[in-house]
Amino acid sequence: MPYSWIGLGSEGRNEQTFVTDQDNMIIYDDTDQTTVRSYYEEFGTRVVEGWLQWVSANARRDHASNEKWRGSSLDWRRR
């Protein structure tokens, strides 16, 4: 299924440093399928948890593992 991983904030502006937060979001094709939503929830969580292990457990968490930053293109249009 097509999706986009979008970098926001300092990541989106290519201004990241060694000590930075992570601001990103996922947009995927419109669907009401629970399995698709669950897949992207797991995908976002795994990517972010891997990043946190690499960078710092104290990093701010405004990113795709949080439902607020993940959704279908219809979800984003509604927001």
**1-32 per-position pLDDT tens digit:** 788 888 877 766 777 666 666 778 888 887 77
Q: Classify residue 20 as exposed, middle or buried by CB count within 10 Å of its CB (0-12, 13-18, 19+).
A: middle
Task: Compute the average pLDDT of residues 30-51.
Answer: 83
Task: Compute the average pLDDT of residues 32-49.
Answer: 85
pTM greater than 0.75 (yes/no):
no
Q: Round to whole Å and give the CA distance between 72 and 59.
A: 26
